[in-house]
Amino acid sequence: MERTFAQLRETLYSAVVADACDQFGLRNQSIQHELPPQTTTEVLIGRCRTSAWEDLFDVDPSPYELELQLVDSCQSDDVVIAAAAGSMRSGIWGELLSTAASNRGCVGVIVDGAVRDVPKMRAMGFPVFAAGRSVYDSCHRQRVTAFDQPVVVGGVTICSGDIVVADEDGVVIVPQAQSAEILAAAWEKVHAENVTRDAIKQGMGAVDAYAKFGIL
């Protein structure tokens, strides 16, 4: 049975989804550097919308052009992925982009770079994961070069339409082509873990619990 994103957010988390990816031979789906949550401790799950960014060292003739097009094209349950190669040159995402994206149905953003307006985005309840923070505006410092094209963040290739699961443990990317079976496996593992946890709480040893349930 296919579940809604709202149902997935209530049940899944990054570690169990990474385990499910392992089951299907996808052992390198977690971004391999820290993009910690900046505004929330809740799990973020949605559909990737990719964007590639570059640093600028001259005047941008069309500031904000492609990033605004990306935001206006967002749909329900989208998560913007900003691949900025970890640049701290400016805060490429802030309150106004969050407001505009949220109005279109976007449920969060993951930035391999810096953000700003963190207290305001936290007050909005808009999930933001990022490498760091910068007070500087992106105008004439950074810009989007393309969106909805494959990007690489922390050793993981990400395409628009992939599923992202992010929380305090990390960020996991589930390829679109295998998302249904991987998310179903993760869902089943969560419930199997609950059974195992209950057995351990009732006194079963870890060795016996693993022998019986095969869950760790």
Instruction: Check if the beta carbon of residue 54 is closer than 8 Å to that of residue 212.
Output: no
Residue 211 forms part of a structural domain: no
95 is in an annotated binding site: yes
The domain total for the chain is 1
For 71-90, write each residue's pLDDT tens digit: 999 999 999 999 999 999 99
56 is in an annotated binding site: no
Any residues with CB less than 8 A from the CB of 165 and at least 6 apart, and which? 12, 13, 14, 17, 43, 44, 45, 171, 172, 174
Instruction: Check if the beta carbon of residue 89 is closer than 8 Å to that of residue 134.
Output: yes
10 is in an annotated binding site: no
Residue 34 forms part of a structural domain: yes
Window from 52-66, 118-132, 181-195 with minimum mean pLDDT: 181-195
State the CATH number of the domain containing residue 45.
3.50.30.40
Residue 107 forms part of a structural domain: yes
116 is in an annotated binding site: yes
Residue 214 forms part of a structural domain: no
For 103-130, write each residue's pLDDT tens digit: 999 999 999 999 999 999 999 999 999 9
| Other CB atoms within 10 A of residue 62 CB | 7
Q: What is the pTM of this model?
A: 0.91
117 is in an annotated binding site: yes
Residue 62 forms part of a structural domain: yes
63: exposed, middle or buried (Cβ count in 10 Å: 0-12, 13-18, 19+):
middle
d(C-alpha 216, C-alpha 205), whole Å: 12
Residue 51 forms part of a structural domain: yes
Tell me which range, 129-133, 200-204, 207-211, is most confidently predicted by mean pLDDT: 129-133
* Segments forming the whole domain that contains residue 58: 5-10+28-174
Work out the percent of the chain whose per-residue pLDDT is above 70. Answer: 88
- Residue 43's pLDDT is 98
96 is in an annotated binding site: yes
The answer to whether residue 136 scores a pLDDT higher than 60 is yes
Mean pLDDT of 133-150: 98
